[in-house]
Structure 1
Amino acid sequence: MAFDSSCGFPGQPGDSAAISGGSVRAAFDATSDRYPAHPFLHIPAQATAGYGRQAVDWEYGEAALRVQALEADFREAGLTRGHRVAVMLDNRAEFFLCWLALNGIGVSIVPLNAEHSAAEMAHVLRDSAAVMVVTLEGRRAALEPALHVALAGTDRALPPVCCLGDDAPRVPVLPGTFAASTDECALVYTSGSTGLPKGCMLSNAYMLAFGRWYLSLGGLCTIEPGAERLITPLPLVHMNALACSSMAMILSGGCIIQLDRFHPGTWAQTVAQSGATIVHYLGVMPAILLQFPPQPGDRAHAVKFGFGAGVHPKHQAAFEARFGFPLVESWSMTEVGAGAAVAANVEPRHAGSRCFGRPSGHMEYRIVDDAGVDVPPGSSGELWVRAAGPDPRAGFFSGYANQPELTEAAWAGDYFHTGDIVRAGSDGALHFVDRKKSIIRRSGENIASLEVEAVLNQLPVVRNVGVGPVEDETRGEEVMACVELAAGHAPSHEVALQIFEAAAQRLAYYKLPGYIAFVSALPLTASQKLQRGVLREIMRRLASEGAAFDLRALKKRSAAHPADNA
C-alpha cells in the first residue's frame, strides 16, 4: 500500500456514490469534479518538520487520484463495507487520503490518539473491533503493546498493522467482523462521566449535516464557495477538525490548512503566510497568544473570523481588538453534532460572558433542574436538546458503540441530556455556566474524573481519591486530585511525585493531575458516594491557598510531541 505523498496515484474511481443516503466520499468526488484545480489541502513546511520539511499542496483533482488509488489497495486487502479500521496518522495529509479512500468502500475509521497510553489505546481497539490498523512507521512500537493488551484473554487474532509504504496485508473476512452499520463514517471516542471513553458512532449523514450547518450560518461566519482557506491546529481524532472544519471545506470547495499542532511563537506568521481566511481555535489559544507582546504583524492577515469555543471571558475582547477579527463562540458535542449546534455568528455576541449564541429553528431545547423541570427564565440549569421536526435525533450521533442502554439513557424524555449547565439571557442567547457531569475540560480535551480516579485508586499509596477541575486561566481547567493516603504514608512532595509518575504509566499526559492535595477525608454522602460539588469547593480553596502540590510543569508530551503544543 503506497502512501508516499510525493508521488501521483493513477487509479479508477470508486463506487462511493452507491452508498445510500450520500457519503463524505461522494461529497468530495462531487467537489473535485466541480473544482479540480482548486486547492484542497495545504500543510505548511513547519507542520511537516518531523517527517520531511516540505509543504504539502494538493488540488482537489490531484487528491482525488490519490484517493482512488488508495481505495483500490484497500479493496485488494479485503476490506469491505461494515469493517472498521483504526487509523493513527496524526494531523498528516495521509489521514485525509485514508479517510476518503475507506469511506468510498463503506469502511468506518476509528481515529487513534497517539498521545494515549497503551492501556487507553487497547480499550479503543478492543471496543471497536477494528480489523486493521493504519499508522506511521514511528508509531508501530507504541501500537504493538496496545494490541496485545486489547486482545489478551480473547480468541481474536491481532489485526494487521499497516505502516506507510507497506503492502496492505490481506484481511480475513470472518463471521463477526462486521461491527459497523453500513452508513457509519467514523467511530470517535470521547471521555464521559462513566469513566472509560465511549465510542460515538458518527454516520455519513452526521458528517454532511455538520458541514451544511456550518455553511448555512452566515452573518460573521459567511463562507464563500470555492474561496475560503481554513486553518486549524486541532487534532483530527476529534469532532471539530474531522467533522466541522473538514466537511465545511469539502462541501464548499475550500482549502483545509491542517497544522500538526498549535505553535504559539510562529502562529501569526503561519496564519498570514498561509492566506487563511478562517481560523479554528480553542480557548487555550487566545490565552497563550495574548501572553506575547504585540507585534507589527498581528493584523497582517486575511482572516475574516475565528470559530471555536471556550475563550476566557477576559480574553475575548482583548484578542479581537489586537488581532482584528471576531472570535465566534459556538457549542456542540460529539454526540450532538449539527443536530442542535449553536453559534454566536450575529450580534450581539455578548463577548466576555461565555455566550455561545441564540438557538435557531433547526433545534429545540430545554433548560431544566435536577428533577427535569424547566427552570425560570434567566436561571441556570442543564441543557437538553433535540432536532426540530419529526426525527429528534436527526444530525446527532447514531449512539454509543456496544452500549445501547447508555444511548437511551442519554435520550431520556426524547431530549439529549448534555450535562452542560447554561442560562438564557433576556434576548434568548445561551451562556455557558458549568458542567454537571464529572468532566474536566483542559485545553479542549474532555477528561473524565472517573477515569483518572480509577487509575489513582489502584496505587498502593492511595486509600481513596477524588478528581475534579480547578480553574486555569490559560487552559480553562486543570486536573486536580484530592488524595486520602493509605496507612503508613505521610503527605509529602515526594509522595505526590510518586503518584504522578505512577499515573503517567497509564494515562495520557494531559489527564495527569496538575495539582495533588492530601486530605484526611473526602466529602461523601451517607451512601458513601463522592459529593462532587463539595469536592470542587474544597479543591478551589486548596489550590488558591497554595495547599496543593503544583505539578503542572511536569505535564509534558513525549519527545515526539513537544510541550509547546498546549
Structure 2
Amino acid sequence: MNTQLTDLTRGPAVASEQMADEPSVPTLTALLAQRARDAGDREFLRFGEWSWSFAEIDAWTSRLAHRMLEVDGVRAGDRIAIMLPNVVHWPVVWLAALKAGAVAVPVNCGYQRADLAFVLRDSGARAVFTDSERAGLVNEVLAGESGLAAVRVIDVADDGSEPFPDTPPVLDAATDSLANLQYTSGTTGFPKACMLTHGYWVRLGWICAAATGLGGDDVLLTSQPFSYMDPQWNTALSLTVAAPLVVLPRFSASTFMADVRRHRATFFYVLGSMPTLLFKQPPSPDDRDNDLRMVFCSGIPTALHAGLEERWGAPWREVYGMTESGIDLFSPFDDPTVVGSGSLGGPVPTKQVRVADPARPGEEVAPGEPGELTIAGVPMMSGYWNRPEATADALRDGWLHTGDLVVRRTDGGIQLVGRIKDMVRRGGENVACAEVEAALERDDRVVAAAVVAVPDGVLGEEVKAFVQLREDVAADRDTAQQLLESAGAQLARFKVPRYVEFVADFPRTPSERVSKPALKARAAEQPGTTYDFARPRS
C-alpha cells in the first residue's frame, strides 16, 4: 500500500477545523481524477452485489464523455437529462456529462408526460440517457413536442462508450462552471431548476466531510432516488473522503437496517418521515449489531431522538439545507445536549444566518420570536434557470429567503417551527402545521401525520389532520378522539385539529416528504371517513 493511500485511510479526511477552508480540489471531475490516482483500486460505488473502484469509474466516465462529444455532438454548456432509477449508470452519466463540459439535468423517474415534457423544454436538453423501461415515454414525449424533435435518446444498457479513450477529454472546467440544473420538488406548479456549480458540489462534500470526520475506512449508504440531491452530495462526500458509497434501489423501512448491517455501513443520511418509519418497525435483537458510527438526518422527531440513538447505538444529528444552498446548519456529533432538543444546531462556518421579520425582511426578530430563516454564504445556487424574477425573490442582497419559520433558541441554536406557507390561519391565530404533526406523531399508534387547512365559513380556515396508524390500531372515532386528547395536552387549544381522516399511506415527494397538494387532491377524488370534532367557536 502506498503512502498516499495509507494517509487516506487513517482518520478524518478533512479535519473539523478545516471546514471553512477552500476545498483542495476545485471541481468534481478533478476530484474523481485525483481519487483515481491516489486511491484507484479502492471501492467507490456499490450497487447490490456489484461494485466499481475509483479508477474504473474514472475510466468509464472518460470513455462516455468522449462518446458524448464525438457521437452525440455535445458541446460545452449543453444540457444532458438523466432519467434512470438507482443504477450505477446514473452517477456514471452525471460525471461523464461533467467531463464533457455539459450540464446534468436529473429527471425524476416518477414523472409522466406533462412533467417530463416541461423539464426537457425548460432545460433545453440535447440528450436523454434512460433505460428500456422509460424509453417509450421519453420517445412519446419527444414525438409529441415539436421543439424536442432533435433530442437524442441513449439507452444506458449499451452506452457505446467502449471504443473510446479512457483518458478524460481536455476541457477547462472551473469552480464556477455549471454542473447541474437541479429541479426542486415543485409542491405548487411546475418545479424550478437550481443552477448548481462544480464548486457547490465540491464545497458541500468538503463541509460534510469536516462535519462528520469520515475517512477512507468508512462506508456510506444512501437509499433516496439519485435524481434527488442527497445521493449526489453523498457521491461528492465519498469522493472527498475516498470511501465507498452503497446505493440501495429505494428506501424500505422494513429492510433498511438489515442493509446497513449487511453492507457494514458506518454512515447514512435520512430525512422526512424516514426516521419515524424506521423506529416504528418491530424491535429486533439485531438492532445494535451494526457498524454505524454516525447518522445525519433532517427532521429528527424530538420525542424519538434518544430512542433512535439507544436502539441503533449511534449518534443522530440534525443537518439543515436546501437544494438552493446545500448545507446551512448542523449539530456537532460531540454535543449530546442537542439530543431531543429539537435544535437544528448552528451555521456551518461558511454561512451566516438571520431570523428575519417576514413583514420587514431586513430586520431580525428577537430571540424566541418566530421569523423567516435567511442565509448567506457558500455553497449557494447561482440562481433559478430561466427564472430571473424567482431568483430575485429568493436571493435578495445575497440572502436566500428559505420560507422556513424558525426561532433562535436561548442556547444559540435554531429551531424549526414550520413553513411560512404551510400554516393554517384559524380566525385570528396562525397554526404551524409542522408543530401539530409533531404532536400527533409522538403517539406510538401513529406512523405519520399531515396537517392541512380546510375552508371554514366562520374562521376562514380550520385544522384537518390526515393520520396513518399502525396496522394493529383501529381507525375509528374513538382512536381519533384519543389522539386529539393526547395532542391537546401538548398544544394550545386553537391548534388542535377539528377534523381527522385516517389514511393507509401518503403520497410523497422524491425527498420522502408528504406531498400535501397530492394528498388533498386524492382526498377530493376519493374521500374517506372524516371525523368532525366541532368545538365552541373561540
- Pair in the same fold by TM > 0.5: yes
Pair 1:185-2:110 in alignment: no
Which residues of 2 match residues 87-166 of structure 1 at below 5 A?
87-148=82-143, 151=145, 155-166=147-158
1:280 and 1:306 in contact (8 A); partners too: yes
Which residues of 2 match residues 11-410 of structure 1 at below 5 A?
22-44=26-48, 55-76=49-70, 77-148=72-143, 151=145, 155-166=147-158, 183-191=177-185, 195-217=189-211, 221-224=212-215, 226-243=216-233, 245-338=234-327, 340-370=328-358, 371-372=360-361, 373-387=363-377, 394-410=378-394
- Tell me the residue number matched to 1:538: 463
SS state of the match for residue 131, structure 1?
A: strand
- Tell me the residue number matched to 1:494: none
CA–CA separation in structure 2 for the residues paired with 1:550 and 1:89: 34
Unpaired runs of 5+ residues, structure 2, are: 1-24, 162-174, 425-432, 468-479, 485-496, 510-538
C-alpha spacing 1:556/1:357, structure 2 compared with 1 (3 Å)? closer
Alpha-carbon deviation of 1:347?
0.8
Alpha-carbon deviation of 1:276?
0.8
1:162 and 1:168 in contact (8 A); partners too: no
CA–CA separation in structure 2 for the residues paired with 1:67 and 1:85: 14
CA–CA separation in structure 1 for the residues paired with 2:352 and 2:27: 26
C-alpha spacing 1:480/1:376, structure 2 compared with 1 (3 Å)? closer
Alpha-carbon deviation of 1:547?
4.3
Unpaired runs of 5+ residues, structure 1, are: 1-20, 45-54, 170-180, 388-393, 441-467, 483-518, 524-533, 558-566
What per-residue deviation string (whole Å, max 9, x for no partner) do you get for residues 194-252 of structure 1? Answer: 632100011001011101111122xxx2212x222101111211222212x11111111
CA–CA separation in structure 1 for the residues paired with 2:337 and 2:128: 44
Alpha-carbon deviation of 1:105?
1.1
CA–CA separation in structure 2 for the residues paired with 1:555 and 1:33: 44
C-alpha spacing 1:250/1:361, structure 2 compared with 1 (3 Å)? closer
C-alpha spacing 1:102/1:429, structure 2 compared with 1 (3 Å)? same
CA–CA separation in structure 1 for the residues paired with 2:398 and 2:176: 25
CA–CA separation in structure 2 for the residues paired with 1:82 and 1:281: 33
SS state of the match for residue 40, structure 1?
A: strand
2:449 and 2:465 in contact (8 A); partners too: no
C-alpha spacing 1:539/1:359, structure 2 compared with 1 (3 Å)? same
C-alpha spacing 1:322/1:554, structure 2 compared with 1 (3 Å)? closer
- Tell me the residue number matched to 2:411: 427
What per-residue deviation string (whole Å, max 9, x for no partner) do you get for residues 231-280 of structure 1? Answer: 1111211222212x111111111101111111222222211111211111
1:186 and 1:203 in contact (8 A); partners too: yes
Equivalenced residues, count: 427
Alpha-carbon deviation of 1:118?
1.8
2:329 and 2:345 in contact (8 A); partners too: no
Letter in 2 for 1:162: I
SS state of the match for residue 86, structure 2?
A: coil
Indicate which of 474, 478, 485 corresponds to 2:450: 478
Letter in 1 for 2:152: P
Alpha-carbon deviation of 1:520?
6.8
- Tell me the residue number matched to 2:430: none
Letter in 1 for 2:450: E
SS state of the match for residue 256, structure 2?
A: helix
SS state of the match for residue 401, structure 2?
A: strand
C-alpha spacing 1:103/1:155, structure 2 compared with 1 (3 Å)? closer
CA–CA separation in structure 1 for the residues paired with 2:458 and 2:392: 32
CA–CA separation in structure 2 for the residues paired with 1:480 and 1:117: 26
Letter in 1 for 2:47: I
Alpha-carbon deviation of 1:191?
3.6
CA–CA separation in structure 2 for the residues paired with 1:84 and 1:213: 27
Identity %: 29
SS state of the match for residue 365, structure 1?
A: strand
SS state of the match for residue 255, structure 2?
A: helix
SS state of the match for residue 162, structure 1?
A: strand
1:186 and 1:201 in contact (8 A); partners too: yes
1:81 and 1:182 in contact (8 A); partners too: no
Letter in 2 for 1:65: A
Alpha-carbon deviation of 1:481?
7.4
SS state of the match for residue 191, structure 2?
A: strand
SS state of the match for residue 65, structure 2?
A: helix
CA–CA separation in structure 1 for the residues paired with 2:503 and 2:465: 16
SS state of the match for residue 231, structure 1?
A: strand
SS state of the match for residue 296, structure 1?
A: coil
What per-residue deviation string (whole Å, max 9, x for no partner) do you get for residues 312-335 of structure 1? Answer: 122211111111011111001111
Alpha-carbon deviation of 1:553?
4.1
C-alpha spacing 1:475/1:308, structure 2 compared with 1 (3 Å)? farther
- Tell me the residue number matched to 1:465: none
CA–CA separation in structure 2 for the residues paired with 1:97 and 1:522: 57
CA–CA separation in structure 1 for the residues paired with 2:156 and 2:350: 42
TM-score normalised per structure 2: 0.73
2:465 and 2:500 in contact (8 A); partners too: no
SS state of the match for residue 242, structure 1?
A: helix
CA–CA separation in structure 1 for the residues paired with 2:55 and 2:384: 36
What per-residue deviation string (whole Å, max 9, x for no partner) do you get for residues 513-561 of structure 1? Answer: xxxxxx57597xxxxxxxxxx64x433499966846545448599xxxx
What per-residue deviation string (whole Å, max 9, x for no partner) do you get for residues 468-488 of structure 1? Answer: 887373776537574xxxxxx
Question: What is the aligned-residue RMSD (CA, Å)?
Answer: 2.9
1:345 and 1:357 in contact (8 A); partners too: no
2:264 and 2:291 in contact (8 A); partners too: yes
Which deviates more from structure 2 when the two are superposed, residues 358-367 or residues 254-263?
A: 358-367
CA–CA separation in structure 2 for the residues paired with 1:197 and 1:365: 25
CA–CA separation in structure 2 for the residues paired with 1:188 and 1:554: 24
